[in-house]
Amino acid sequence: MKYPWADRERVRTSIRGGGLSTQICWWLGAIFAIIGIIGGAIDARIGLEAIHWFLLAIALFAASITANIGWAVSWYIETIEVKKKE
């Protein structure tokens, strides 16, 4: 059975595209968290309630983490190959 990470070139190309989506998700999550903090501090609705901004931030942070898992697996495989060559 061929594992998904066995084709390293495909993993590398998916990491390049995933890096941009990871950055976008992370920065939007940070912005939504800041909006939630500001909305909670002034006790006002800024489009949504403060808790909804926090929930959106958590969802985006979780999405950014999942994109990094492929990168971590690829890095681990590359490290193992280098150690085997030594």
Q: Residue 13 pLDDT more than 80?
A: no
Task: Say if residues 36 and 51 touch (Cβ distance below 8 Å).
Answer: yes
Structural domain includes residue 45 = yes
Structural domain includes residue 3 = no
Structural domain includes residue 51 = yes
Domain limits for position 25: 8-85
Q: What confidence tier does 32 reach under pLDDT thresholds 50, 70, 90?
A: very high
**Number of structural domains the chain divides into:** 1
Element (H, E) at 32: helix 8-42
Structural domain includes residue 40 = yes
What does the mean pLDDT of the chain come to?
81
Structural domain includes residue 1 = no
Task: Give the pLDDT of residue 80.
Answer: 82
Structural domain includes residue 54 = yes
Residue range 58-84: mean pLDDT, rounded: 81
Read off the pLDDT of residues 39-65 as tens digits, 9 standing for 90 and up.
999 988 888 999 999 999 999 999 888
Structural domain includes residue 34 = yes
Structural domain includes residue 20 = yes
